[in-house]
Amino acid sequence: MSDAPRPPAFDPMTVGGGVNTGYPEPFRAMVSGRYKRRLGDAHGLTNFGVNMVTLAPGGRSAARHWHTRQDEFVYIVEGEIVLVTEGGEQVLRPGMAACFPAGRQDGHVLVNRTTAPVHYLEVGDRTGGDEVEYPDDDLARRMIDGRPAFCRKDGTPY
Protein backbone atom coordinates (compact mmCIF):
# COMPACT_ATOMS: atom_id res chain seq x y z
CA MET A 1 0.00 0.00 0.00
CA SER A 2 1.41 3.40 -0.99
CA ASP A 3 1.27 6.63 1.02
CA ALA A 4 1.74 8.67 -2.15
CA PRO A 5 -0.80 11.47 -2.60
CA ARG A 6 -3.48 11.18 -5.24
CA PRO A 7 -2.82 12.99 -8.52
CA PRO A 8 -4.42 16.45 -8.44
CA ALA A 9 -6.45 15.88 -11.64
CA PHE A 10 -9.26 13.32 -11.75
CA ASP A 11 -12.66 12.53 -13.25
CA PRO A 12 -15.28 13.73 -10.70
CA MET A 13 -17.67 10.97 -11.74
CA THR A 14 -15.21 8.35 -10.42
CA VAL A 15 -15.59 9.63 -6.84
CA GLY A 16 -18.09 7.60 -4.85
CA GLY A 17 -21.03 9.34 -3.26
CA GLY A 18 -24.41 8.87 -1.75
CA VAL A 19 -27.89 10.15 -1.07
CA ASN A 20 -27.30 10.62 2.65
CA THR A 21 -28.51 13.71 4.50
CA GLY A 22 -28.46 15.02 8.04
CA TYR A 23 -32.05 16.25 7.78
CA PRO A 24 -34.42 14.83 10.37
CA GLU A 25 -37.71 13.24 9.35
CA PRO A 26 -39.98 14.40 7.78
CA PHE A 27 -37.50 16.49 5.73
CA ARG A 28 -35.18 13.65 4.74
CA ALA A 29 -37.43 12.45 1.90
CA MET A 30 -37.35 15.81 0.09
CA VAL A 31 -33.71 15.23 -0.95
CA SER A 32 -34.05 11.56 -1.88
CA GLY A 33 -33.31 12.42 -5.53
CA ARG A 34 -29.99 14.11 -4.66
CA TYR A 35 -26.69 12.24 -5.08
CA LYS A 36 -23.51 13.97 -3.83
CA ARG A 37 -19.93 13.12 -4.73
CA ARG A 38 -17.73 14.87 -2.12
CA LEU A 39 -14.83 15.78 -4.40
CA GLY A 40 -13.00 18.03 -1.96
CA ASP A 41 -13.15 15.52 0.89
CA ALA A 42 -11.96 12.71 -1.37
CA HIS A 43 -8.90 14.72 -2.40
CA GLY A 44 -7.90 16.32 0.89
CA LEU A 45 -9.40 19.80 0.80
CA THR A 46 -10.00 21.18 4.29
CA ASN A 47 -10.82 24.89 3.93
CA PHE A 48 -13.79 24.51 1.62
CA GLY A 49 -16.00 21.75 0.26
CA VAL A 50 -16.64 20.88 -3.37
CA ASN A 51 -19.39 18.47 -4.36
CA MET A 52 -20.53 17.17 -7.73
CA VAL A 53 -24.27 16.89 -7.25
CA THR A 54 -26.66 14.94 -9.44
CA LEU A 55 -30.36 15.70 -9.11
CA ALA A 56 -32.75 13.15 -10.53
CA PRO A 57 -35.89 14.36 -12.33
CA GLY A 58 -38.13 15.90 -9.68
CA GLY A 59 -35.20 16.15 -7.24
CA ARG A 60 -34.41 19.04 -4.89
CA SER A 61 -31.03 20.21 -3.65
CA ALA A 62 -32.28 20.91 -0.11
CA ALA A 63 -35.04 22.59 1.81
CA ARG A 64 -34.97 26.28 0.84
CA HIS A 65 -32.32 27.81 3.13
CA TRP A 66 -29.62 30.40 3.79
CA HIS A 67 -26.41 30.30 5.88
CA THR A 68 -25.40 32.77 8.58
CA ARG A 69 -21.61 32.40 8.13
CA GLN A 70 -20.86 30.27 5.09
CA ASP A 71 -20.84 31.30 1.44
CA GLU A 72 -22.21 28.95 -1.23
CA PHE A 73 -21.59 28.79 -4.98
CA VAL A 74 -23.10 26.51 -7.64
CA TYR A 75 -22.06 25.98 -11.26
CA ILE A 76 -24.32 24.09 -13.66
CA VAL A 77 -22.41 21.42 -15.60
CA GLU A 78 -25.19 19.57 -17.41
CA GLY A 79 -28.96 19.89 -17.63
CA GLU A 80 -31.47 22.56 -16.70
CA ILE A 81 -32.50 23.43 -13.16
CA VAL A 82 -34.75 26.00 -11.48
CA LEU A 83 -33.32 28.23 -8.76
CA VAL A 84 -36.02 29.34 -6.29
CA THR A 85 -35.33 32.35 -4.02
CA GLU A 86 -37.36 35.08 -2.31
CA GLY A 87 -37.21 36.96 -5.62
CA GLY A 88 -38.90 34.16 -7.56
CA GLU A 89 -37.59 31.55 -9.99
CA GLN A 90 -34.73 31.55 -12.46
CA VAL A 91 -33.79 28.81 -14.93
CA LEU A 92 -30.11 27.86 -14.84
CA ARG A 93 -28.44 26.09 -17.76
CA PRO A 94 -24.93 24.68 -18.33
CA GLY A 95 -22.24 27.29 -17.82
CA MET A 96 -24.38 29.41 -15.48
CA ALA A 97 -23.50 29.99 -11.84
CA ALA A 98 -25.17 31.34 -8.72
CA CYS A 99 -23.65 32.84 -5.56
CA PHE A 100 -25.17 32.88 -2.09
CA PRO A 101 -23.22 35.14 0.29
CA ALA A 102 -23.22 34.31 3.99
CA GLY A 103 -25.81 36.20 6.00
CA ARG A 104 -27.99 37.18 3.04
CA GLN A 105 -31.50 36.34 4.21
CA ASP A 106 -32.65 35.03 0.85
CA GLY A 107 -33.34 31.32 1.04
CA HIS A 108 -32.48 29.27 -2.04
CA VAL A 109 -33.14 25.80 -3.42
CA LEU A 110 -32.49 24.09 -6.77
CA VAL A 111 -35.29 22.01 -8.27
CA ASN A 112 -35.05 19.67 -11.26
CA ARG A 113 -38.35 19.99 -13.13
CA THR A 114 -37.08 18.20 -16.25
CA THR A 115 -37.11 14.54 -17.25
CA ALA A 116 -33.30 14.25 -17.26
CA PRO A 117 -30.70 14.27 -14.48
CA VAL A 118 -28.90 17.54 -13.73
CA HIS A 119 -25.22 17.77 -12.70
CA TYR A 120 -23.80 20.78 -10.88
CA LEU A 121 -20.82 21.74 -8.76
CA GLU A 122 -21.55 22.97 -5.26
CA VAL A 123 -18.81 24.87 -3.41
CA GLY A 124 -18.98 26.11 0.16
CA ASP A 125 -16.58 27.29 2.82
CA ARG A 126 -16.22 25.65 6.21
CA THR A 127 -16.46 28.67 8.50
CA GLY A 128 -17.20 27.48 12.03
CA GLY A 129 -20.32 28.44 13.95
CA ASP A 130 -22.54 28.50 10.88
CA GLU A 131 -26.27 28.26 11.44
CA VAL A 132 -28.89 27.67 8.77
CA GLU A 133 -32.36 29.16 8.40
CA TYR A 134 -35.16 27.40 6.48
CA PRO A 135 -37.86 30.03 5.77
CA ASP A 136 -40.49 27.61 4.40
CA ASP A 137 -40.24 24.91 7.07
CA ASP A 138 -40.26 24.51 10.85
CA LEU A 139 -36.59 23.62 10.66
CA ALA A 140 -33.33 25.25 11.72
CA ARG A 141 -29.74 24.17 12.16
CA ARG A 142 -28.34 25.73 15.30
CA MET A 143 -25.15 25.46 17.29
CA ILE A 144 -26.10 23.44 20.37
CA ASP A 145 -23.38 22.64 22.90
CA GLY A 146 -20.80 23.73 20.29
CA ARG A 147 -22.09 21.40 17.58
CA PRO A 148 -24.49 21.94 14.68
CA ALA A 149 -27.85 20.26 15.24
CA PHE A 150 -31.24 20.30 13.54
CA CYS A 151 -34.17 21.54 15.59
CA ARG A 152 -37.50 23.28 15.23
CA LYS A 153 -37.46 27.06 14.91
CA ASP A 154 -38.34 27.37 18.61
CA GLY A 155 -35.24 25.31 19.46
CA THR A 156 -36.95 22.05 20.40
CA PRO A 157 -35.19 18.97 18.99
CA TYR A 158 -36.56 16.62 16.35
pLDDT digits over 133-142, tens only? 999 999 999 9
Task: Tell me, yes or no, whether 151 lies in a domain.
Answer: no
Task: Tell me, yes or no, whether 101 lies in a domain.
Answer: yes
The answer to whether 83 touches 112, Cβ cutoff 8 Å, is: no
Task: Tell me, yes or no, whether 103 lies in a domain.
Answer: yes
The answer to whether 121 touches 72, Cβ cutoff 8 Å, is: no
Distance CA 51, CA 38 (A): 5
| Confidence tier at 7 by pLDDT (50, 70, 90) | confident
- Domain harbouring 31, CATH code: 2.60.120.10
Domain that holds residue 51: 27-131
Task: Tell me, yes or no, whether 21 lies in a domain.
Answer: no
Task: Tell me, yes or no, whether 72 lies in a domain.
Answer: yes
Distance CA 83, CA 78 (A): 15
Query: How many residues are there in the chain?
Result: 158
Task: Tell me, yes or no, whether 47 lies in a domain.
Answer: yes
Task: Tell me, yes or no, whether 75 lies in a domain.
Answer: yes
Q: How many domains does the chain have?
A: 1
The conformational region for residue 26 under phi > 0 = left, psi -120 to 50 = alpha, else beta, is alpha
Tens digits of residue pLDDT in 101-117: 999 999 999 999 999 99
Task: Tell me, yes or no, whether 14 lies in a domain.
Answer: no
Distance CA 111, CA 150 (A): 22
Distance CA 76, CA 116 (A): 14
